A and B are shown apart, each in its own frame.
Chain A
């Protein structure tokens, strides 16, 4: 019996700053099944972004282990290790404008990554490039453009295409739609669902937005002050939250007939117990 390994398994991951005085991530564990999608929800200071950085190797954990396809990839920042990691996991940043070289065309950015990670023949290279652009809904005109000539949504598409160019098994998205207009957010969310269905890439969606996570994630972990306080299938957790903090988060989402005074009362009561 060879049970399929999850794309990523994180075991007792811990990251502190300031010589252990600030605990950003406190012994967290979770896994993402092949082609699955996990939402990591929390507010600022919850450790969700640090978790994303730990997974892609931008930060090194104090302790704990990260497995990709059942294998542990060593920590460290050697070129070989970074490249090996890049072919497994890719990150899409919150601000697509900041994450693209302002002087490089869209096509140039994708070519560069393709050259680094693949050894395609000239014709296969061009085909793959066109395929990537099409996958994110960009045309030839956008391929020749510089980032500043594109809209926010188009830039995020470029960032996604570039991440996919390395053919990763896992895509980590750190607040990837938070900086976009509402009407554009939906485009990107739909695009991600489509890509996941077509390529089987697994997603880790880091967000403060419960509704967005509800939409894209099969499973969810809720983080508060560095720890996971609740986890499970998204529908279940959001329908029947067990932890008072999850309930607080849910009640904070504005809707018609919402009573913010009641929410802030609940918040004060919750924080008093911490």
Chain B
């Protein structure tokens, strides 16, 4: 779209458009999504339900729905994912890119010991001997900060808390020495103090291993505090891209501003709710997807979808973005502090 991703990009998604086919219906999910993550960078992908953030992440490792119309380009470490063969894709997933998910318990066999679970991949993909794999797995558990790796290797998933299990999943993701980690809401199901723990591990991995991380989350505050750069998604499109600090300082897109203003925080005196609900791309009827909920929308917004433009270092898709920085707007509901 506007700027080509840097050549050092670990992940480069360009102009990705995706629609799912079901019977005769075509349901558009993503519209011209562009996203990049450089080597050693932590990139946030923030959006609400139906924004297409998880689908974007899945597409990055070739996990696309069976019947889908896809166009655009997706590159991971130089590999053209959309054109890749099954063999190349499985190499991509077992070597280059790993994924972790919101609910670690759903992604682990409850009847298998942690050690067996971790060693399986090592023995199959890296052809390690039993002893080698066990040594490596123990080392990985140590790296993700579990207190007693040797004991955890013999434990079953139900013996570990959610936070510990997520660390096991991170260890499993690291087993293949990936260059890219895709994290889909990895802390959403966890307690706040545990969330801090997981985020600090991710930050340390980036520092120690030069890992590139894409963090998908609905929590803009979390993204701002953990990421270098943030992509904000709404209804299948990227509406704003900026560095975390810039985004927090002066959000350019009304949706980003609304997301900040809708979260209670010590320095806000009123909660500004956005009317309506987040839409999926298939529900958008032309014009800007956010226009029906946007307090600043003008006629133009209802008619044509905005182009992405560069304003103060933000890439922002909004007709009004060339105006001075968006000030938070008046409340739409009568909400006040009780």
Contacts and interface: CB of A to CB of B under 8 A. Distances in A.
B192 A249 contact: yes
A218 B338 contact: yes
B191 A37 contact: no
B87 interface: no
A256 B248 contact: yes
Contacts of B218: 181-182
Contact of A260 (B162, B199, B272, B273): B199
A99 interface: no
Contact of B200 (A191, A211, A260): A260
A189 B335 contact: yes
A256 B244 contact: yes
A153 interface: yes
A42 to B, nearest CB: 9
Nearest to B293: A183
Interface in B159-203: 162, 191-197, 199-200, 203
B48 interface: yes
A84 interface: no
Contacts of A151: 277
A197 B261 CA distance: 22
B271 interface: yes
Nearest to B336: A193
B262 A153 contact: no
B264 A256 contact: no
Interface in A169-192: 181-187, 189-191
Given A260-B196, A263-B196, A267-B197, A189 B271 contact: yes
Interface in B200-228: 200, 203-204, 218-222, 224-226
A69 interface: no
A261 interface: yes
Size bin of chain A's contact surface: 35 or more
Given A208-B192, A249-B192, A256-B224, A216 B338 contact: yes
A144 to B, nearest CB: 19
B263 A211 contact: yes
Size bin of chain B's contact surface: 35 or more
Interface in A260-274: 260-261, 263-264, 267
A261 B226 CA distance: 11
B92 interface: no
A243 to B, nearest CB: 14
B259 interface: yes
B245 A43 contact: no
Interface in A1-50: 37, 43-44
Nearest to A248: B193
Contacts of A256: 224-225, 244-245, 248
A267 B199 CA distance: 14
B221 A186 contact: no
Contact of B337 (A193, A212, A260, A264): A193
Interface of A: 37, 43-44, 151-154, 181-187, 189-191, 193-194, 196-197, 208-212, 214-216, 218, 238, 248-249, 251-258, 260-261, 263-264, 267
7 contacts: A154-B277, A184-B277, A186-B271, A190-B335, A252-B196, A264-B193, A264-B196
Given A182-B262, A260-B226, 10 more contacts: A152-B49, A184-B278, A190-B273, A191-B335, A249-B192, A252-B192, A254-B225, A255-B225, A260-B199, A267-B193
